[in-house]
Structure 1
Amino acid sequence: MDRKKSKTIVEHEDIDVQFNKLHFDPVNPRGEPETDEEKIRALFGAQSETLMLATHIAENGQNPLERIGIIEHPKLPGHYVIREGNRRLCAMQLLRDPERAPSDASRKAFQKLASSGRQIPDKIQAVLFHEKQKARVWMSVKHEGPQGGLGTLQWGPSEKTRFNREGDTGLTRPKNPNRQAEALLTYAVKEGLITAEERQLIALTTLTRYLPNVRTALALLNTEDCTTNARPDEFNAALKRFLKDAKDSGTSQEKPALSSRSNSAQRTEYAETLRREGVAPTHRDQTPYDPAQSPPAKPATRSTGTARSATHPSKRKQLIPNSFAVPVKDNVLLRLVSEGKGLNPDDARFSCNYLNRVILERIVHLYATKYGIGKDGDFASVVQRIIAHAKATTQPPSKGIVNVLNKTADKRTSYSYEIMSNPIHGGSVPTGADNRANWESLQQALEYLLSSMK
């Protein structure tokens, strides 16, 4: 069919267009009308968002879900004016020719991207509109908001968190801060702690704001999911209370107990309230597990044969139970453990936290030294070398022990080396219950390492 005749029937069509035949739209909502293309390029090229867009294009190519929209140039036959995608045109032009960037700094940035990223092809896919007005219809749908459902509906915190469960997407997916809050809500609905309707009345962002202060009070062991070492009934009761306090009544007369406008002191006080009122779990004697995935495992048999203290950890007056033995000759470690058996975690919160940290560090150091696997480098690297070495022995560690060792090397778990270092640098000091719980989480792994050095 002849193109001129088809224009009255076909409103738009897909074409491949030569890149060097594309021109900026002189009338663009992102700036005042401007016919000088160099000035338009300078406007977009000076924006940090354009560099970010260019970075993504250099790494991933053009977005296949968004093609540029063009119309025929009114004065240059065979050339086209960009109606939708002027900023993308600028980013791609500067990737093809960084010397056209508006400043020395941006020129260097685009040169680096151009040398290491994907090449911009000579031809790109575009949608050719035969009437300028028809392009406006779709530009409005894209740029002028939801429009009652006609336009693009932006994702809120819940939608973003659900999307991010599927995996990493590089630059387009920064780490979602609401991940753990979303996991807790999903688990709570599944367990019947709250209804699906109640979930809609609980703001993800409020939970996320409180979690750094109440995480240990709820017996959560990381910042990602529901992993805990508390007994299921106690964990569920504490979580149910937390979510209940965050639920909006839906009326202006009754405000939720937890507010997104709270300060750190208020959030810390709320955590202490959970402890004072006996809501926070007190029995933290389970092998760490994620209740959303599986029930708690039975505590594994200790490789050393050492029995747990008859006194429950939550009632023990000392940090380290008397039954914990040190089967290696190291005066420093023996002294540390001896003092840990005499300190009350409720009275010596800072000291007990420091003891947990330094005993972990000392045992890791001794193991690495004994087997010549390198005790230097950051803590996480040493632990990974220890795990690899231990797995190759005739008595490899259980999955539970490997899991604990891995978590001592990250920055998200209450008993990790990094987190236990925070009070030393002015961070909040764990409670006595937290110190006991951290020791209980560490003890089996520490005993395994010690027994391997006998």
Structure 2
Amino acid sequence: MATARQETPEHEDVLVQFNKLHFDPVNPRGEPESDEEKIRSLFGGESETSVLAAHLAEHGQNPLDRLGIIKHPKLPGHFVIREGNRRLCAMQLLRDPERAPTTAIQKSFQRLASTGRPIPDSVQAVLFHEQPKARVWMSVKHEGPQNGLGTLTWGPTQKTRFNREGETGTTRPKNPNRQAEALLTYAVGQGLITPEERVLIAITTLTRYLPNLRTALALLNTEDCTTNAVQVEFNAALQRFLKDAKETGSPGTPAEVHSRSTAGQRNAYAEKLRNENLTPSSRNLPPYDPSKQTPTQAATKAAVRARSSMDPGKRKQLIPSSFVVSIKDQVLLRLVKEGKELNPDEARFSCNYLNRVILERVIHNYAKKHGVGGQGDFADVVQRVVTHAKASNSPPSKGVALVLTKAADKKTVYSYEIMSNAVHGGSTPSGADNRSNWENLQSALEYLLSRLK
């Protein structure tokens, strides 16, 4: 009876003492170098190594990507790194920042080492018993897709889908394409575009246009599909945007929404949607994400019933006559008086400016009266105001506190930052945009004014 031949394993998982690991003198990232201090200086001076070190300090060694080692040819019990030399450098400098090549880099690693996870005395590695076997797997990892053999790089859509599952730590910023991906997914689910059309729409092009189009589309943040518009109007505007971004299929004929657009062209496109009455005009629903929930029939009927003379969609003035300024601030009184006279559809720029400057004036009045400091970035002033108000005897409701917070987050359509875009030459909001921004801000302004009497 034949017996199975026992083969020596080509590699094995091992736990290696950190001080027995050495750089590979022959490394594709640089010319051959036998001096380990020079290798450490080479890797340690690269900005990518600092980024890697920050991630190691936060998360530890990647369990999906262990070090690959072989036995040292001259030092018994020691090992040479075949895969992971830059990681070895990052870990060495986290363990001993004084070995970094410059004073500035030393200080950087000292900060990381003092706040992050300690690098252990022993690390997990894969020990290859023959160097050529290590080269096989290094090729799979580093030499590209190789017709499916190697690691396939994710494109923008794949990266964004992955990031939908959650964040990947403080060392990785939020994926900038997340809102564009959410809009595409929603549009396919609603039948606004087909799955085949989605493939013809570049997600990065949508992301490029969104800062100029969020107000026009009635998007209330930079994350998802949240809106306060009636869903059918929101869908119509979104469908037009996506259709205009679809590749034409004709060489030399770009789509109307295209990747090489200038800021001026993107602003002009937003204006075109407004002029063609394609942007939502009914924006008085409670904020909701239509990809997750549909406004209830009751809420929709309530919105329809509210379309009276006091409905912001019907009102001919920016500010309703019922809004009262209860303090003796002559400038603020004049601003509000103008807001009660100006038509948001006709004086679009002026009404946008009034929303912005009234918000600023009331915030600074509150900061001055309560001694919380009106200097510095506007967002910082608002945060101090919110903190003070929450700790007071008459704290704001959660809704008011949320409005104030969003008014300073530089993302929301009624934030000081976004409303400043028109002042500094960006696209001018429509009359519906101006009314909607005032309706969002009014309750917060009324609360602040009540604390200024």
Does the Cα contact within 8 Å between 1:287 and 1:441 map onto a contact in 2?
A: no
Does the Cα contact within 8 Å between 1:401 and 1:445 map onto a contact in 2?
A: yes
Displacement of 1:174: 1.5
Cα separation, 2, equivalents of 1:190 and 1:448 = 40
Cα separation, 1, equivalents of 2:190 and 2:203 = 18
- Code of the residue aligned with 1:85 in structure 2: it is G
Alignment-derived partner of residue 39 in structure 1 = 38
Match of 2:386 among 384, 387, 402: 384
Alignment-derived partner of residue 205 in structure 1 = 204
Does the Cα contact within 8 Å between 1:288 and 1:441 map onto a contact in 2?
A: no
Displacement of 1:253: 6.8
Secondary structure of the residue aligned to 1:170 is coil
Distance 1:368-1:114 versus aligned 2 partners, 3 A rule = closer
Cα separation, 2, equivalents of 1:39 and 1:91 = 14
Secondary structure of the residue aligned to 2:284 is coil
Percent identity over the alignment is: 68
Secondary structure of the residue aligned to 1:217 is helix
RMSD over aligned Cα, in angstroms? 3.1
Distance 1:187-1:386 versus aligned 2 partners, 3 A rule = farther
Long gaps (5+) in structure 1: none
Secondary structure of the residue aligned to 2:344 is coil
In the comparison of the two structures, how many residue pairs are matched?
440
- Code of the residue aligned with 1:380 in structure 2: it is V
1:193-342 to 2 correspondences below 5 Å:
193-252=192-251, 255-296=254-295, 298=299, 310=309, 313-314=312-313, 316-322=315-321, 324-326=322-324, 328-332=326-330, 333-342=332-341
Does the Cα contact within 8 Å between 1:368 and 1:374 map onto a contact in 2?
A: yes
Cα separation, 2, equivalents of 1:104 and 1:217 = 50
1:143-154 to 2 correspondences below 5 Å:
143-154=142-153
Alignment-derived partner of residue 23 in structure 2 = 24
Distance 1:151-1:408 versus aligned 2 partners, 3 A rule = same
Q: Does 1:188 align with 2:187?
A: yes
Distance 1:300-1:424 versus aligned 2 partners, 3 A rule = farther
Decide which moves more: 359-368 or 86-95.
Answer: 359-368
- Code of the residue aligned with 1:325 in structure 2: it is F
Cα separation, 2, equivalents of 1:146 and 1:171 = 29
Displacement of 1:116: 3.7
Does the Cα contact within 8 Å between 2:212 and 2:267 map onto a contact in 1?
A: yes
Distance 1:364-1:65 versus aligned 2 partners, 3 A rule = same
Cα separation, 1, equivalents of 2:406 and 2:81 = 52
Q: Does 1:105 align with 2:104?
A: yes
Displacement of 1:234: 0.8
- In the superposition, the TM-score normalised over structure 1's length comes to 0.86
- In the superposition, the TM-score normalised over structure 2's length comes to 0.86
Distance 1:74-1:57 versus aligned 2 partners, 3 A rule = same
Cα separation, 2, equivalents of 1:33 and 1:74 = 16
Decide which moves more: 251-260 or 59-68.
Answer: 251-260
Question: Alpha-carbon deviations, 1:282-341, whole Å to 9, x = none?
Answer: 222222222122223638999xxxx8861653454322233x231735453443322111
Cα separation, 1, equivalents of 2:447 and 2:295 = 21
- Code of the residue aligned with 2:387 in structure 1: it is R
Question: Alpha-carbon deviations, 1:152-176, whole Å to 9, x = none?
Answer: 1112111221222233323442221
Alignment-derived partner of residue 13 in structure 1 = 12
Secondary structure of the residue aligned to 1:229 is coil
Cα separation, 2, equivalents of 1:441 and 1:245 = 30
Distance 1:287-1:387 versus aligned 2 partners, 3 A rule = farther
1:439-454 to 2 correspondences below 5 Å:
439-447=438-446
Displacement of 1:382: 4.2
Does the Cα contact within 8 Å between 1:326 and 1:450 map onto a contact in 2?
A: no
Cα separation, 2, equivalents of 1:411 and 1:168 = 20
Displacement of 1:207: 0.4
Cα separation, 2, equivalents of 1:207 and 1:97 = 45
Cα separation, 1, equivalents of 2:362 and 2:107 = 49
Secondary structure of the residue aligned to 2:14 is strand
Question: Alpha-carbon deviations, 1:177-231, whole Å to 9, x = none?
Answer: 1111111111111211112222111110010111111221111122111122221
1:129-168 to 2 correspondences below 5 Å:
129-168=128-167
Does the Cα contact within 8 Å between 1:246 and 1:257 map onto a contact in 2?
A: yes
Cα separation, 1, equivalents of 2:433 and 2:90 = 52
Cα separation, 1, equivalents of 2:325 and 2:114 = 58
Distance 1:120-1:29 versus aligned 2 partners, 3 A rule = same
Alignment-derived partner of residue 175 in structure 2 = 176
Distance 1:162-1:139 versus aligned 2 partners, 3 A rule = same
1:76-91 to 2 correspondences below 5 Å:
76-91=75-90
